[in-house]
Amino acid sequence: MTGAPNPSYDNILEIKNLQTSFFTKDLEVKAVDGVSFNIPKGKVLGVVGESGSGKSITSLSILRLIEEPGKIKGGEILFKGENLLDKSEAQMRKIRGNEISMIFQEPMTSLNPTFTVGQQISESFRIHEGLGKKEAKKKSIEMLKLVGIPSPEKRINQYPFELSGGMRQRVMIAIALACNPDLLIADEPTTALDVTIQAQILDLMKELQEKLDMGILLITHDLGVVAETCDYVAVMYCGKVVEFTDKKTLFTEPKHPYTVGLMQSVPQHDQDVDGDLAVIRGSVPSPADMPQGCRFAPRCPFATDLCRNKLPDLETDEEGNQIRCWIYSDEWDGDPEVNVHEQSKSTS
């Protein structure tokens, strides 16, 4: 799609059947295999799942930053109603950092150690807004104030190694928000930080999101982070979305056995310290050797022959919640009265 932005879009981002693979001489690894979800304007979507589920590859696909031997094979990435897969590389360069920004996992590897903090923030203003050096520096100081860095006039002349981990992450947020993007992608933005700094960074992101009315795609493995910051949640497993719902429903009525397993693996404040922590049995299958049917079937306590032989579709219910599981299908050949949440407690 080309031309002027579509003013009628309801979702800042809508992904439809996204497929991203990595190729070797003899093998295709489907890292993202038919992923679909959307982010309403001004809302926060959390994407959760174990390592290797395809979360980060999905985010890099949105920005078209997949490098060889990877390739986006198909689907649509609708940003403000326009398909990013139809854009030229020159058009994408104007969108990246301007309309869509990204915060990466580790700020020390994302920030350039040879340039000052001010130079790195100013670059966004100079590239995307055409500002001169003096005006770009002035706006960079304003951005450091916005993200809560003390003495910004001093910090702007410092190098990344001179700052703490929390401050570096704030600098990354300042760079990402420099041009008031419509969509912010945050890939595990608090992983390397201590608990106190994590809370400060998440509060800051939520505050700025509400102030700037931007959409956020938050990639995390931490359900506590989801509970604090997200409006909607997509649960991914082996390159596919297995459940998509609003945050309240996820925490009160999770439906997919994998989602329930994730929830029950989180330590509870009233849990017996001598008791065993619930775990999801088994391990994530190799991307090069996926199960024939449901990807989660080898680890699922409810799996039947149907699950092991046929992959379920992602079905949408009347409330707009989505689930990829045979238990909720007319084809289900197991116990018709199965209660995934209750029985998972007894089998974990």
Which amino acid would we find at residue 117? V
If one counts every other C-beta atom within 10 angstroms of the C-beta of residue 15, the result is 24
- Check residue 192 and give its pLDDT: 66
Nearest one of 295, 292, 294 to 283, comparing CA atoms: 295
Ordered strands of the 315-316 beta sheet: 100-103, 183-187, 215-219, 44-48, 232-237, 240-246, 322-323, 315-316
Is the pLDDT assigned to residue 161 strictly greater than 50? yes
- Check residue 5 and give its pLDDT: 42
Nearest one of 171, 203, 198, 174 to 107, comparing CA atoms: 171
Is residue 121 domain-resident?
Answer: yes
Single out the residue in 154, 178, 202 at which a domain terminates.
178
Q: Are 20 and 73 in contact (CB under 8 A)?
A: yes
Q: Are 274 and 291 in contact (CB under 8 A)?
A: no
Q: Left, alpha or beta for 188 (phi > 0: left; psi -120 to 50: alpha)?
A: left
Burial class of 342 by CB neighbour count within 10 A (0 to 12, 13 to 18, 19+): exposed
Is the pLDDT assigned to residue 342 strictly greater than 50? yes
Q: How far apart are CA 232 and CA 274, in angstroms?
A: 34
Is residue 1 domain-resident?
Answer: no
Mean of the pLDDT values across residues 96-100?
A: 91
Q: Are 33 and 240 in contact (CB under 8 A)?
A: yes
Confidence class of residue 289 from pLDDT cuts 50, 70 and 90?
Answer: confident
- Check residue 272 and give its pLDDT: 56
Single out the residue in 150, 178, 206 at which a domain terminates.
178
Write out the DSSP string of 124-180: HHHHHS---HHHHHHHHHHHHHHTT-SSHHHHTTS-GGGS-HHHHHHHHHHHHHTT-
Confidence class of residue 260 from pLDDT cuts 50, 70 and 90?
Answer: very high
- Check residue 146 and give its pLDDT: 84
Is residue 22 domain-resident?
Answer: no
Write out the DSSP string of 267-285: PPTTS-TTSPPP---S-PP
Is the pLDDT assigned to residue 55 strictly greater than 50? yes
Domain residues for 164? Answer: 106-178
Mean of the pLDDT values across residues 209-231?
A: 89
Nearest one of 14, 51, 19, 335 to 220, comparing CA atoms: 51
Torsion of Cα atoms, 72 then 91 then 100 then 40, to 10°: -80
Is residue 81 domain-resident?
Answer: no
Is residue 275 domain-resident?
Answer: yes
- Check residue 48 and give its pLDDT: 95
Single out the residue in 125, 157, 178 at which a domain terminates.
178
20-54: pLDDT as tens digits:
999 988 889 999 999 999 999 899 999 999 888 99
Confidence class of residue 100 from pLDDT cuts 50, 70 and 90?
Answer: very high
Is residue 75 domain-resident?
Answer: no
Q: How far apart are CA 59 and CA 216, in angstroms?
A: 11
Nearest one of 317, 187, 184, 185 to 244, comparing CA atoms: 317
Write out the DSSP string of 311-325: PPP-EE-TTS-EE--
Which amino acid would we find at residue 229? T
Confidence class of residue 320 from pLDDT cuts 50, 70 and 90?
Answer: confident
CA distances from 75 to 32, 46, 241, 249 (A): 11, 21, 14, 28
Confidence class of residue 59 from pLDDT cuts 50, 70 and 90?
Answer: very high
Q: How far apart are CA 145 and CA 153, in angstroms?
A: 9
Mean of the pLDDT values across residues 318-336?
A: 90
Is residue 333 domain-resident?
Answer: yes
Mean of the pLDDT values across residues 328-336?
A: 89
Mean pLDDT, rounded, of the chain: 87
Nearest one of 114, 169, 107 to 144, comparing CA atoms: 169
At residue 240, the 3 state secondary structure works out as strand
Is residue 195 domain-resident?
Answer: no
Q: Are 43 and 215 in contact (CB under 8 A)?
A: yes
- Check residue 348 and give its pLDDT: 47
Give me the number of domains the chain comprises. 2
- Check residue 235 and give its pLDDT: 96
